[in-house]
Chains A and B, each alone.
Chain A
Amino acid sequence: MRGMRLVRFILTRLLQAIPVVLGVVVLNFLLLQLAPGDAATVLAGEAGGAPPEYVEQLRARFGLDKPVLVQLGLYLKNIVLLDLGFSFRNNAPVLELILGRLWPTLLLMGATLVISVGGGVILGVVAALGVRTWRDHLISIAAVIAYATPLFWIGLMLILVFSIRLNWFPTSGMEDVVAFHEGWARVVDIAHHLVLPTITLSLFYLALYTRLMRATVLEQRGAEYATTARAKGLTERAITLRHVLRNALLPVVTMAGVQVGALLGGSVVVETVFAWPGLGQLAYQSLFARDFNLLLGIFFLSACLVVIVNIIVDVIYVLLDPRIRVGGQS
């Protein structure tokens, strides 16, 4: 019964997501029209200048001479057919380019989520259970520092200390391209490259979750149901693990859903600093090349990603909290 409703809920949410994603596409398309210059001027500029006729010719070839609304209509039609267009700049279909960069970004995002949520939950619980002891103080102070430090600075410092001084981790890239590792060796190599960017990207949220988890665990331990559990004769350990933890996780899950959206933005900086071949880096490059087709494609994919992650978070929420009813009346 509940399972059926959950499936229906997911389907409904997916249907509702379609207008949202299309809205994002339209908005991005119109916003990009506001940016000065287009692909034709950039291409012409990089060629060291070109006669105006040539630029016009380029525009006609890219379809940039048509009215904006016509361009938008054509683009929307193509999106519905899952045709994201062609990147003249990279001379390849946009979809192919994006899919090639998708998995490094997903890998980085996944690793970051695991580290920040997992680490934050554990540190927060440890701090809350030893409230006002040295453990709590140590974790809280570290959290505040990590919370207040800018992302790019952390990245540069990590490179400086762990790569250049200590030589423990590589400075950039996703794998050692000249070593031609295969199989297990390649996995280890990628993991090795992954460490610094993941730490950089997760530190802020790790601190945020630690603080959030500490506060909610403290709050939930003072809740009446925790007193009831104590009055039943349960040990503090059982009270924390069985009763408090699950209740305290709810706000963290909500926050994690918000984080995924922000992760894409953060990954632009981190991927640039660490030369990580992901979507963020691609977005950065395509923006400067005025490669709007590619940029729009990346935005489209990001919107889809965020929508899907939000649905996943909602489903996790439903599974964690029986009070949330899906699909209306029981």
Chain B
Amino acid sequence: MTGSFIEAPVAGATDPVLEIRDLSVALPPWADRPLAVKSLSLTVGRGETLCVVGESGSGKSVMARSILRILPEPQLRIASGQILLDGEDLAQAEARRMRQIRGGQIAMVFQEPMVSLNPLMTVGRQIDEILEVHTDWRKAERRRRVIATFDDVRLPDPKSIVDAYPHELSGGQRQRVMIAMSLVLEPKLIVADEPTTALDVTTEAQVLTLLKDLQTKHGTALMFITHNFGVVAEIADRVAVMRFGELVEYGTVGEVLNRPQHPYTKALIDAVPSLVPRKRPVPAADLPAEPILTVRGLEKTFGRPSVGLPWLTRLLPLMGQGRRAAVKAVNKVDLDIRRGSAVALVGESGSGKSTLARCLIGLEQADAGSALVGGNEIVGMSRSAWRPLRSRVQMVFQDPFASLNPRTRVGDIIARGAILQGQSPDAAMAQAQQLLELVGLEAKAADRYPHEFSGGQRQRIGIARALAVKPDILIADEPVSALDVSVQKQVLDLLDDLRRQFGLTMLFITHDLRVAAHVCEEIVVLKSGAIVERGMTADIFANPQHEYTRTLLSSVPGRNWQLTGRRDQPQTIT
């Protein structure tokens, strides 16, 4: 299936299961454009994978939902066009017929498995419902089928997992449940809307392999919505690129990834951070040897046993049952960061990377160990003692929407730190305006409020805010993970420029190895609160020593495409 597509001359599939013709979806009158999807035509062939790629607002999810007619009507509605499933027009089908199609002939996998599953119902029952609606099987028979499907998606111990609630499963397991849900009746087509975006990179690799395997096994057609070109390189047969509700490029995966025609596609592909580690801007010898940040044996534990009323606990043993097991979020971490270097702290969710950063900036108090910032011991330091140090360490936060006060003008947000450090308000405001220009916004943006800016612009404001107090160390906690690919690249380049211009030391926290490779020369890999590997990015990428680092590296979707520059071999994920 994957061998012949490179030379396939036609964009459309030869044996289509699904054929979308001239589909337009209308937005409500108050939206910024009249149509979410504009005369779009696509086909998905039997047993093939079509990846639909686009940034936020491209209309890709709306298109996917209109196939099943689960748009939030009447705000969003199909305005015109046909959606042909084996020749039957779903756009005109009756509600009754649509219910037969949903789950039976076309199934859908959603992005966030936690919110896509009913939290109050066992996962087995949630799949059982599909069988109940679409078949006349008995209860025992349905249960057997659910367990068999769980086995199919390689969920551990399917017999007990059927009776588990969604919160009792991990993110990856929940997404396997969603996939099992889509597969249980072997539909003709599965529509998957960003099914791996919310998952960790190693889990993502597993889920992608699983989807691909199951697709081959059952011969199901797959429409895979994503923003990630790595994923496209990994699983697509053909690719459709969407922008502003329109199709801008459509072709086989080889054509689109290696010879993109449309300038937008080219820009998108160029914006994907390279997996090839960059060269150090300053030769290593030129860096001062003395570290600006020294961490020794740092520890932070969450959820310690409750300390209240120990005598009562002894008296009445059952009172003590409420205590939680302690979680070591940061476990004996040693770290040296030299002045002017850029270090990436890489790890999956729950690895303790954010907690470590929050301890270093004083948002969390470490339990044990030592951390020296420019020679000042910060572990155990009081809040008032921290205050003069605040100007030395600053942080750029992950979520550009939640981290700026919506009721405060941008200028005040940026100037406030400098004023607290003793600058006069006028000087601080003038500096804020300069900083806004420095990060690529206009000086008059200072008079506006955060909601008037896009996500990327807000992250620039966040960076300007951090720079306002002239810090030595900039800690960036996943600063680009909430941004679209093209914006991501701009923000990363900005951080890199500023760092050189001001001689900043940067601690860059990320889950994305590509991003790490793009901005940092050094890399530290964290797992379960402990450092498993550290060194120069180039060395680690070329020759990872630790098993976990190897797994992380091999899980990056589309790495072969990027490293070899081509994707003309079928991919395997280890």
A-side residues, CB < 8 A to B, are 8, 11-12, 15, 222-225, 227-235, 238, 242-243, 246-247, 320-323, 327-329
Known contacts being A224-B112, A329-B325, is A230 close to B318, with CB within 8 Å? no
Given known A247-B118, A247-B119, A322-B120, contact A232–B129 (CB-CB < 8 A)? yes
Selected from B104, B118, B316, B324, the residue in CB contact (under 8 A) with A243 is B118
Contacts A231-B70, A231-B108, A233-B101; A321 near B129 (Cβ below 8 A): no
Which residues of chain B are within 8 angstroms of A223 by Cβ–Cβ distance? 115
Q: Closest residue of chain B to A234, judged by CB? A: B133
| Known interface pairs A222-B72, A227-B110, A323-B167; A328-B323 also in contact (CB < 8 Å) | yes
Interface residue B16 (Cβ < 8 Å from any Cβ of A)? no
B324 and A328 form a contact (CB under 8 A): yes
**CB < 8 Å: which of B104, B110, B118, B318 contacts A8?**
B318
Contacts known (A230-B102, A233-B101, A323-B165); A328 close to B119, Cβ less than 8 A: no
Asked if A230 contacts B324 (CB within 8 A), the reply is no
B280 at the interface (CB under 8 A from A): no
Q: In this assembly, does B107 line the interface, its C-beta being within 8 Å of a C-beta of chain A?
A: yes
User: Contact between B70 and A12 (Cβ–Cβ < 8 Å)?
Assistant: no
Contact B129 A229, beta carbon cutoff 8 Å: yes
Please give me the 10 A-B residue pairs with the lowest Cβ-Cβ distance, nearest first.
A233-B103, A233-B102, A232-B103, A224-B115, A231-B108, A225-B118, A322-B165, A233-B99, A224-B116, A328-B322
Residues from chain A with a CB closer than 8 A to the CB of B318 are 8, 11-12
**Bound Cα distance A15, B104 (Å):** 53
Query: CA A329 – CA B305 in complex, angstroms?
Result: 12
The residues of A that contact B110 with a CB separation of less than 8 Å are 224, 227-228
Given contacts A225-B116, A230-B68, 6 further A-B contacts (CB under 8 A): A225-B118, A227-B70, A233-B104, A234-B133, A243-B118, A327-B322
Query: A322 CA to B319 CA in the complex, in Å?
Result: 22
A322 with B167: CB separation less than 8 A: yes
Contact call A247/B130, Cβ cutoff below 8 A: no
Query: Which secondary structure dominates chain B's binding surface?
Result: mixed
- In angstroms, how far is the closest chain B Cβ from the Cβ of A236? 9
Task: Please report the C-alpha to C-alpha distance between residue A320 and residue B165 in the assembled complex, in whole angstroms.
Answer: 13
Contacts of A323 in B (CB 8 A): 119, 165, 167
Chain A residue with minimal CB distance to B165? A322
| Neighbouring A residues of B322 by C-beta, 8 Å | 12, 327-328
Which residue in B107, B118, B316, B324 is a CB contact (below 8 Å) of A229?
Answer: B118
Contact of B133 among A12, A225, A233, A247 (CB under 8 A): A233
Q: How far is the CB of A172 from chain B (nearest CB, A)?
A: 45
Complex contacts, A222 vs chain B, CB 8 Å: 72
Q: Which chain A residues border B68 with CB–CB below 8 Å?
A: 230-231
B307 to chain A, nearest CB (A): 15
Given contact pairs A233-B104, A235-B99, A8 touches B321 in the complex (Cβ within 8 A): yes
Q: Are A329 and B103 in contact (CB under 8 A)?
A: no
| Cβ contact within 8 Å between A232 and B112 | no
Residue in B closest to A235 when the chains form the complex, CB atoms: B99
| Chain A residues with CB below 8 A from B65, complex form | 227
With beta carbons under 8 angstroms apart, the residue of A228, A233, A328 that contacts B116 is A228
- In the complex, chain B residues whose CB is within 8 Å of the CB of A228: 108, 110, 116-118, 178, 181
Known A-B contacts A223-B115, A243-B121, A247-B120; the reply to A231 vs B107 at CB < 8 A is yes
User: Are B102 and A232 interface neighbours, CB within 8 A?
Assistant: yes
CA distance A236 to B119 in the complex (A): 19
Show 16 residue pairs from A and B whose CB-CB distance is below 8 angstroms, ordered by the A residue.
Answer: A222-B72, A223-B115, A225-B115, A227-B65, A227-B70, A227-B110, A228-B117, A228-B178, A231-B102, A233-B103, A233-B130, A233-B134, A235-B99, A247-B118, A328-B324, A329-B325
CA distance A323 to B182 in the complex (A): 25
Residue of B with least CB distance to A330: B168
How far, in Å, is A110 (CB) from chain B's closest CB?
27
Query: Would you give the shortest CB distance from B260 to chain A, in whole angstroms?
Result: 32
- Give the complex CA separation of A242 and B132 in angstroms: 13
CB distance from B350 to the nearest CB of A (A): 17
Q: Decide if B107 touches A329 in the complex (CB within 8 Å).
A: no
Q: Which residues of B contact A227 (CB under 8 A)?
A: 65, 70, 110, 116
